[in-house]
Amino acid sequence: MGYHCVVCVKQVPDTKGITGEAMRDDGTVNRAALPAIFNPEDLNALEMALAIRDGHGGTVTVVTMGLPKASDVLRESLFRGADRAVLITDRRAAGSDTLATSYILACAVRRLEADIVLCGRQAIDGDTAQVGPQLAEKLSFTLVTYLEQLLELRNRTLRARRNLGHGWEIVETELPVLATVLDSANTPRPPAARRVMKFKKARCRSEVEQAIGRELAAASDDERAAESARRCSALAGRGLLIEQWNLDDIGADLAWCGFKGSPTKVHRVQSIVLAGGAYREYPASDPGVAQLVRELIEDHTIG
C-alpha cells in the first residue's frame, strides 16, 4: 500500500556565504545580501519521502510557506521527484514566528491528509528546530525528532532510529507520524535532467502575475487578469501550475497568523563582528598536524 508523505520545506538565506552585510543595523537578517537556497536538512526530509514512495508506493507532496519566490524550492523539489507542490503565500502571514508558522502549516497539512509528515531537523536561518514539533502537536501526530534511519515501514507502523547526539534510540509508532530528519539520514538525490527540463517552467499564480506586470505594464487590470487566467490555465493543462493557497484557502484564523499570531519577542540582538586576525599555516603533514594539536591544547581550545 502507498503512503502520502507531505514534506515541509523552507527557502533560507545561504548562511555559508555570509558577509558583513548579512545583518541589518536593527539586527534582522538582510535576506537580499545572501543567496536563497533550499534549507539543507529539508532536502534530507524530501529524500526520505521519495525513498518511502519508491519503496512502498504513494505520493510525495511538498509544501512551503513564503513569498512567491519560494516557488524556487518547490521547483527544486519537483526536479528531484516530488509529485505535487503547494505554495502558501499571503501578505497576512508576514512576520510569523514559529508558532504562527506551525499553525498555518497545520491548516494546510490537514487539507492534504498526510500519512507521514517530514521536516528537516531545523532551518539554517533561525536554527530553532521548533516548527516540526509544534506542527506535530497541532496535527496530533506522533512526533519523532532526529530521525536518522527508517528501519521499517509496514502495516501503517513505522520503526526508526533517532540519533540523540550521545546515543541512539529505536522507536516504533503507528501512523500518522511527523518526523524531523537529520542530514546524516541520507544523501539527497540530484535533480533529474528530464524533470528539470520540464518543471523549470512550473510557476505559481503570483509569479505569472508578476511576469505579466513586467511584460504588459500598460495593460488594464482586466486585461492583465484575463492574461493571467489564460496563462495559468495553459500551465495547469501541462501540469506546470504550482498550487497556491492563501490563508482563506486553508481556513486559517487570522488571529493566529502573522505578527498578530506571533508572541515571540526579541529581547536583544548582538552584532558580533569577527575581526580577521593573523592566521598561521601548518604544513599538511603528520608533524604539522601534531604541532597544531599541541598548540590548541596549550591555549585550551581543545582538551
Partner 1 sequence: MANFFLDNSDVQFLFEHMDLRLLSELFEEGFRFHAEFDFAPEDATDALDNYRRILTSLGELAADVIAPTAAETDRVGNVLHDDGSVSYAPGIADAMLRLSQADLMGFILPYRFGGLNAPLLAYTMATEVVSRADASLMNLFGLQGIAETINAFASEEIKAAVLPDMAAGRKNGAMVLTEPDAGSDLQAIKVRAFQDGTGHWFVQGVKRFITNGCGEILLVLARSEPGIADARGLSLFLVERGPRVRVRRLEDKLGIHGSPTCELFFDDAPALLVGARQRGLVTYVMSLMNGARIGIAAQALGIAEAAYRVAREYAAKRKQFGAAIDTLPAVRELLVDMSVELQAARALTYYASFCVDLETGTSRRLEGGAAGDETKALQQELRRLKRVNAMLTPMSKYVASEMSMRVANSAVAVLGGSGYMKDYAVERHLRDSRITTIYEGTSQLQVVAAMGGVAAGIARSVVESLLDREWPEAVRPLAAQVREGLALLDEAVAFAKAQPGAGYAALYSRKIVDMACALVIAALLCGQAAASERKLAVAGRWLAVKLPELRMNRDLVCSGDERPIAEFEALATS
Q: How far is the CB of 27 from partner 1 (least distance, A)?
A: 28
Task: Supply the DSSP symbol for 94.
Answer: T
Establish if 278 lies at the interface with partner 1 (CB under 8 A): no
Smallest distance, partner 1 to C-beta of residue 180, A = 23
The radius of gyration of the chain from alpha carbons, rounded to an integer in Å, stands at 22
Question: Which one among 218, 275, 284, 302 touches partner 1, defined by CB under 8 A?
Answer: 284
Cα distance between residue 69 and residue 204, in whole Å: 9
CB of 189 to partner 1, least distance (A): 4
- Asked if 238 touches partner 1 (CB under 8 A), the answer is yes
Cell 598561521, residue? Answer: 280
- Which lies closer to partner 1 via its Cβ, residue 35 or residue 167? 35
Check residue 292 for interaction with partner 1 (CB under 8 A). Answer: no
Q: Provide the mask over 175-204, with x wherever binding to partner 1 is found by CB under 8 A and - wherever it is not.
A: ------------x-xxxxxxxxxx-x----
31/198 with CB nearer partner 1: 198
Taking the least distance from each CB to partner 1, the nearer of 78 and 114 is: 78
Distance of alpha carbon 286 from alpha carbon 303, whole angstroms: 19
- Give the nearer residue to partner 1 in terms of CB position, either 1 or 193: 193
Q: 76 or 115, CB closer to partner 1? A: 76
Give the per-residue contact string, 67-106, with partner 1 (x = CB under 8 A; - = no): ----------------------------------------
Minimum separation from the CB atom of position 282 to partner 1 (A): 13
Please, what is the minimum distance in Å from the beta carbon of residue 156 to partner 1?
28
For residues 32 to 61, the per-residue mask of contacts with partner 1, x marking binding by CB under 8 A and - elsewhere, is ------------------------------
How far apart are the C-alpha atoms of 291 and 144, rounded to whole Å?
43
Q: Give how many residues touch partner 1 by CB under 8 A.
A: 16
Residue ranges binding partner 1 (CB under 8 A): 187, 189-198, 200, 238-239, 284-285
